[in-house]
Each structure stands twice: as C-alpha cells, then as structure tokens.
Chain A
Amino acid sequence: MPQNSHLRNTVAIPTQYRREKMTDLPTKTDRTLGLVIDLDTCVGCHACVISCKGWNTENYGAPLSDQRPYGTEPMGTFLNRVHSYEVQPEQGNAQTVHFPKSCLHCENAPCVTVCPTGASYKRVEDGIVLVNEDHCIGCGLCAWACPYGARELDQAEGVMKKCTLCVDRIYNENLPEEDQIPSCVRTCPAGARHFGDLSDPNSDVSQLVESRGGFDLMPEMGTLPINKYLPPRLKDSWDDQSLLAPLLEPVAEEPQGFLGWLDKALDKLPGGTA
C-alpha cells in the first residue's frame, strides 16, 4: 500500500449512528464532544480558519465554495472565523482579544428544532450537530436561529454548511492517532484550541474549563453551548508586581546636560513654547 493511502480514503461518519425521531433534540447524549478555546493564547493568526477550510473542502460533504476569489468583494463559506476585539477597561490600557468562532454544538441547539426537513440533527452518541446535506432544502432558517453565526448557506451548493467537529477525522482510524482531532485543533500553532469530552469532569478540557473559569457565549440565549471560552489572563501591573520596579524609576523626568540645553534652546526659537 502506498504510504499516504490514508489521505485518499474517506472514512467517514459511522453509518449506524443513532438519532432521535424528527428534529427533536436528544434528552441526553452519551458524550459531549467539543472545543475549549483559549482567548489568552490565541494570536489571531487564522491558521485554524485555513486548515478548516482546507479539510472540509476536500472531505466530508459539499466543498466550501468561494465566490469571486480573485475579484472585487471576494467571499466564501467558512466554518470557523476569527474576529478581533478591543476590550477597554474603565482604568488602564485596552486589551486586544482575538476571537475564533465556530459552531458551539449547543445542548439546546435552536438550529436543530427549527429545521423543517430533519436535515439538521444532534447525534446521541457524542452531541455533534450535523447537517444531512442530501435532505437540506437550503431555506436558511437554521442560520437565522443560530445566535453565533455558526451556519453559512453555501452559495454554490445551496445547502447549509457548519462545523462537523471534523467527525471524519476524530473517528478515522486510517489517520495517525495524533491527527484524530479536529483540523483546527491540530493546526493551531499557539495551542489555543483544545478538543475533548466535556461531559467527563476528569477530561483535560473539563479541567481547563474548571481551572481557568471557562464561560459560555450569550448564555442568556439558553442555548447551553458545549464549546467553552477561556478568558484572557489579566495583565501584570508594572508597579505592583515587579520587585525591580522601584529601581527602574526613570532617573530624569527633565532632560539634563546637552539635551537639556538643546530643549531650552529649541523652545526659545520662534514657534517654541518658552
């Protein structure tokens, strides 16, 4: 067998997956697989966006199309996008936060129940929210129901696309073990993305959420997202925390010597402040 044969095999979703009747949500899932995203570590490089686009264009389901990729106003379907925000506290400096956003695989997923065809569903065995693209009529109502902008109607295929949590990687035994995680997690050079079972309190991801105070996006929507976000750590304060700070006080507030003379001389010239 050629060495890279696994790359050409598309092993996919187990065909015998269990589903609830109709688009009702399962009352309980066996596991709740999801992502934990560390806003402290994310550097906003968009590598997860690109690897997601690549994997999900070449593998499960309709490819993620682009429109006018080299023209004016290029656009395309992405399952993961990185925003950048500025957080300005009441006192102190503003902080930049890079903010990757993809499907949160909500426990109470409003996108599933609104689906009129049964194409959208939440898997009982692992809680992943998927779209059966052969049944999707492309009405777009699930995207309307999602508060997070996690679903995008592919403009070329006319079907709804969303994060599959790389269901065709995580169970794909043709891939080396280290690759059996979502593409975005595998790619992240900063280690800002973590994948695991959030229903198991002892899993690495659950421990991270516990120790770092992981939180939900828009909890008031009642969607009960599986994916959690870890807050940026507070920045050190120079004055409080450095033992060396007193020794490093600026020695001269006003320029001395030659610079002091130059400062005064320039001020005396027309247009100066003196």
Chain B
Amino acid sequence: MHPAPSVIVFSTLSGLGFGLLFWLGIDPTPPTGLTAFVFFAIAYALSVGGLISSTFHLGHPERAWRALSQWRSSWLSREGVSAVLALLFMGLYAISLIFLEMNATALGLIGAALALFTVFTTSMIYAQLDTVPRWKTPLTPALYLSFSLAGGALLSGRVNMAILLLVIAAICQFIWWQRGDAALSDSGTDLGTATGLGERGTVRSMAHPHTAPNYLVKEFIYVIGRKHAQKLRRIAFGLTFVLPIICLLLPFSHVLAILAVLSHVAGVATSRWLFFAEAEHVVGLYYGMR
C-alpha cells in the first residue's frame, strides 16, 4: 500500500493525542490551571493536527463533513463521529479544569472512553479489509490501542505505567510483524483464485493492461523500501520502545523525558510507514506482483 505521508502523520499524531486525552480524562487528580492548559494544548495539537493532516489526502476535502453521516456501516465515518465527540467532551472537561479549576469527572470519563474508541475505529478501518491480509486481524486494534495508551502515558508523565505499556505494545508489535509476514500466503488468495484459473495450472501474468503503471499499481503495489524493511523494523523497535524505556529507567531528568518522547514519536512514525509500505493488497496479484 502506498504510504501517504498525510495518513502516517495523522495516525502517528492522533494516536498519541487521543492517548494523552485518555489519561487526562481518567486522572482522579488531574492538573488544573496553567499546567492543565499545557497538557490539553499538547493533546489537542496532536489529535486535531493529525485529523487536519488526514484531510490532505482527500480528493475533495471541502466535503469532508459528509463523512460524519454513515456511522451505521462505515468505520471511517465512525472514526469521524467519535473523534468529534471525544474532542467535544474533552474540550468541556479541559475548560472546567483550566478556567474553573473544577474536576468534572463524568465529562472526563466519557471523553476518555470516546478518545480510546476513536483509536479503535482508526484501527478497524484497516482491520476490516479482507483485501489486505496483513491488516485483517484483531491484532491490528491491539497494536493501535497499545501504541496509543503507551504514548499517552509517556506524554502525561506516568513513568511506571509508560514502561509497562511500552513493553505490552512492543510485544503486540513483534507478534503483529511475525503474523503479518505469512498473512498473504496463509489467506489462500493467489493469482489462481483471483483469475479462477488456478485449477487448470500455474497462472502467470504475461502482460499488464497498459505499459505504464496506473492508479491501482501506484496505490496498492508499493515495493519501494521493502528491501530495507527488516532494518527499518529494528530502527522502529529501538526508537519506539527500547530507547524510551531506557530513558525512563534512568534517574529522572527533563532532558531524558524529552528524548524519550521524541524517540517514541519518531519510532511510531517509522512503524506506521512500514504498516503501509509492507502491506500487500490482493489486487497486486492480478499484476503478478505483491
């Protein structure tokens, strides 16, 4: 799958932003006043920034509001609705904390649940697709949720929780990669079933419909960088989990905390790039590629 920069930025930043909102929402003793302002400003910059970025890959961003209408069948629509509601509830919660120095617990809890649900809906956009066997697994929501919770804990300064969740996210990531590498061959879909000619012999693509690549080839058969995938996985793993955990285990300092956050963000972005770049869409089979 073509790794669109706007979608990678969206899923990286929004995941972190909604994760931070979740932890702020369930905090029994949340920050108030200026401290609260700083935390919520960061959370909103990440989540809203990510959402705005996601509209950049649309053919008609001016019609994006229509995407809120089909929540009954579409995970993408549910994501939009859930994100708007989460930001609304958390906004009211933030206003009460910043300006009224009042903890509206119920608003926070509802907002936290919606923030987490938003991350879940994002993951289901991918996990629902039969056409991309690497994504079609309950491990995909586990991956997105664990990343978001770990990142949120890290950003909100919950050291022990962050370490625990980073370890859990690392395990999810490892299993997800392991399963993913065999997903297409395990799915049973190949050029034989794609053409219906598989029982007659070995099917081979002789000629593409046109000599030059088309939208389908560019969007679904992205092979650039696959040769570096293993290296990038190690880099992503080190940046997302190992380095932040080391920083958190060392005696606390603000420099180490910032290093942990920056390393984590860079690592998540790398992991998300791989999420798309390594994903094989079955339409590639028709082109004799994967």
Contact = CB atoms under 8 A, between A and B. Distances in A.
* Bind each other: yes
B286 A114 contact: no
Contacts of A148: 283, 286
Interface in A12-67: 21-24, 39, 46, 49
Interface residues of B, number: 58
Interface in B176-218: 187-189, 191, 193-197, 200-210, 212-216
Given A116-B76, A222-B130, A215 B196 contact: yes
A117 B73 contact: no
Interface stretch (B14-22, B62-70, B141-149, B241-249): B62-70
Contacts, number: 199
B217 to A, nearest CB: 9
Contacts of A222: 130
A86 B60 contact: no
A271 B219 CA distance: 55
B80 A116 contact: yes
B200 A229 contact: no
A208 interface: no
Contact of A110 (B61, B130, B202, B213): B130
Contacts of B287: 83
B220 interface: yes
A136 to B, nearest CB: 7
Contacts of B77: 116-117
Nearest to B55: A137
Contact of A85 (B1, B205, B214): B205
B289 to A, nearest CB: 12
B70 A137 contact: no
Given A23-B70, A155-B215, A229-B196, A88 B201 contact: yes
Nearest to B212: A73
A88 B200 CA distance: 8
Contact of B204 (A49, A85, A149, A155): A85
Nearest to A155: B215
A174 interface: no
Contacts of B72: 21-24
A137 B64 contact: yes
A199 interface: no
Nearest to A215: B196
Interface in B38-90: 57-61, 63-64, 66-70, 72-77, 80
B96 interface: no
B59 A138 contact: yes
Contact of B209 (A83, A116, A159, A215): A83
A186 to B, nearest CB: 20
A83 to B, nearest CB: 6
Classify the interface of chain A: helix, strand, loop or mixed: loop
A87 interface: yes
A196 interface: no
A74 interface: yes
B159 interface: no
Given A84-B206, A118-B69, A145 B63 contact: no
B281 to A, nearest CB: 7
Interface in A73-99: 73-78, 81-90, 94-97, 99
A149 B216 contact: yes
Given A23-B73, A87-B197, A137 B63 contact: yes
Contact of B74 (A21, A113, A153, A217): A113
5 tightest A-B contacts by CB?
Answer: A138-B59, A158-B59, A81-B209, A89-B201, A116-B77
Interface of A: 21-24, 39, 46, 49, 73-78, 81-90, 94-97, 99, 101, 110, 112-119, 135-141, 143-149, 152-155, 157-160, 215-222, 229, 231-232
23 contacts: A49-B209, A73-B212, A73-B213, A76-B214, A81-B209, A84-B205, A86-B206, A87-B203, A87-B204, A95-B201, A110-B131, A115-B74, A117-B63, A137-B59, A139-B59, A139-B76, A141-B125, A145-B131, A216-B196, A218-B189, A218-B194, A231-B196, A232-B200
Given A85-B195, A86-B204, 7 more contacts: A39-B197, A78-B214, A110-B130, A110-B131, A115-B70, A118-B69, A118-B70
